[in-house]
Structure 1
Amino acid sequence: MKKLSFLLFALIGLISLNSCTEDDPFTFVAKPDPEGLAFTSSVADNYNLMASNGDNLAERFVWNPVDFDVQTPVKYQLLGSADMTFDTTDPIYEGEATNGAVTVSEMLALAADAGLDNDPETEAPNTGSLNFQVRAFVGSDGGNVVEQFSEVVTVNVTLPEGDAEPELPKIYVTGNFAVASGYAADWSPENGIPLAAEMGGTNYEGFINMDVEQPMYKFLPTNEGWDGNYGDAGAEGGAYTEVLASPGVDAGTPDGTGGYFYVKADPEALTYSLTETNWGVIGNATPTGWDSDSDMTYDAENKVWTLTLDLTAQEAPDNGIKFRANDAWDLNIGDSGADGTAEFNGDNIGVPEDGNYTITLDLSNPRMYTYTLTKN
């Protein structure tokens, strides 16, 4: 009887052990490195950030490895901030290496966030400080994560007076539409139409006129040749899957026909998109107020949208006009700061006095859009 009882308890224990093994999720309690996470490299006394050297290495930060006492690989993020507000969702570097490079362009982007300016005609300072921190973590940010942060390292930067505005990173588009659409040459890398990204980013955008029945095109990393070109990941020319491949097939448009498109591409994420746009003017300075748009006409020779219209005097930002695409607010352009530059979702544009105006919207220079109001 005792032997039978022993076997029964052993069987229950085995079943219980098997049940725990199958049903209980694996969790761990990580043990941080007792010495802590810290930068191990020294930094310069000052960094001179010249836009012309944007692709150059500004600094390579090095830190010690961290032992969380688990088998899971430790990941690191190098974080930069102008104001001590570090965003772990947008690191400068993320990976398993214990070092991360920062380019001049990436420091310039942080300097712009800090309000630094290299224009000698403004009162804004051209010297200041930027902050860097490294994060070590295991697990997933969406669930079970254990992390550790280093102390903040602050570096001094200078933007030399008179240095040109930082040139935005660009890629280029060329295809069978160029000549018919007012550009220089078909399938010509050197005459490629530029798309621009934010400093240090890969989110390229721009507007391109594709005035042919069936546009075909490719994306080029430079305007010097075909090396590294990107097309669509589809099976045959004219595909529009919104997925990039290198080299891929010649890409097409959403419905296979031509138009004036807002083009976005991210070669790092291997994505792209085209949105056909037709632009108009709306606002309480126009004859139809905020109820409907006054349509503009595209001038392919000068690469601008134009409209001649009677306007009434209105004061921005509460009143005035705005530019809209496709009679909707999804893509709208205004002017925050009333400086003549146009921004997506910007403030209303004021009208100084009543009169008949020629209005132009120039979207040909990617991420540097402009407009004019000229009284006739």
Structure 2
Amino acid sequence: MKKNQIFACALFMGTALGACTEDYTDWANPQSNSPEDPASKYEISFAAGADATVDMDQFYESVAEELQATDSVVIASLSSTNPNVASIKLNSININGLAINATVRDGNVKVNTLELDSVVRDAFFSRAHVERVFDVNMNVAAKLKSGEAVNVSGTSQAKLTPISTPAISEGGYVLLGDFTGWDPANPMAMTPVANKEGVYQVTVETTNEASSYFKFYAAYDVNGGWDAANAVQMGCRVNGDTKTENFVVWTGDKYKVETPAIAGAGHFIITLDVVNYTYSVAPATAYLYMAGDVNGWSHVDMLASLEFNNIYTGYMYLNQNGFKFSSEPNWDGTNYGADFNTAPDAANITITEPEGFYQVVVDLNEKTYTLTPVAIGIIGSATPNGWDSDTDMTYSIENRCWTITTDLADGEIKFRANDDWAISWGGTPEQLTTQNGGNIAVTAGKYTINLYPLCEGKAYCEINPVN
């Protein structure tokens, strides 16, 4: 009997403690073993709020400046028609995956207007004056009258139109900076990018190992000095910002125009997008490398970018067994696989063209490459056919060069591709160039000639007498 009394007492105490624990459980953080039910089961509605369409031009016109920082909008509405739901608490909210702060009152989800504008700008990486439709993703804890709490996720939609942006300058855009001497009479012109409205680029060389400052300007009258330049200046929000991708701030914007900077010395491609009002700064390297099955996955094939504009040209033998392009003569830099994917596990690039020797042009701006079949010969007064036609060379896969053994007369020779002058090599044997290189003088005799076209700055040949 005594044992039964002890057991009953213990059972009563356990029940009491269990009830006490339930009373103090934070219902907004349901136990992990509670099932997460769909919104439909508890008839929870994730609806657009009363202010789910926001126009930032109207905002700045209608809200006093001193109130703008604290102004908020009802972006979404939470409710339930299920009689078993006692209340709903917002756990988290994001805009197209980017978190945003929010408060809930009477089911109305409110966010700060300026923060919403900033988050939408980041989500689309654009300041373009176009209506942006975006998802408002929410996770809520629904407290049931039974005391249980369940997590439910849902989405509503909202719209925001950023402030108006300046019209695209008909005269184009220029740069001033440390690398131009900040002389408003001599700005550096940017070049329009083909088939991309409002996108301009320029390659600059910086020598300051720390940072080099610059600003963008719409085309202006260079005779007007700084007054003319400053009237159309563009920059960033934080002075000295070295972000490689950033938003543009313009004269007349809601923010002060500050001066961007480039970190480090070297060649850089600066891209300005005056549709989205963004800019980017990317290192520009002189060479790109190819490693693949055909060369034993060694980075011995090279492509050159004469203008440091991310467009590279080289000459190499390719097969259909795969290769990659690399920014370094090893695997330590950026490596480009299929579709120019730079992930470590990216698939290899494979070609459907026949195995053979090609001129390869890689455009890292457009993420494209083009292949042109190439056959090379010698031509000139010293060759058997003179300047009238080529004497064909053959490609040696083993020696990785174009080669010929032939008799030459006193005179001159050059190399050219596909029996045409569109691509030719001249200069000196140690330093050949495709940029209108001079003729190569030779004396009469029998020679084995080996040509290594490679790329601009690396091409050379060997002219060896045959005894």
Q: State TM-score, norm by structure 1.
A: 0.49
**Larger Rg, first or second structure (1 or 2):** 2
Q: State TM-score, norm by structure 2.
A: 0.40
* Structure with greater proportional strand content: 2
Give the number of the structure with larger relative contact order, counting CA–CA contacts within 8 Å between residues 6 or more apart.
Answer: 1
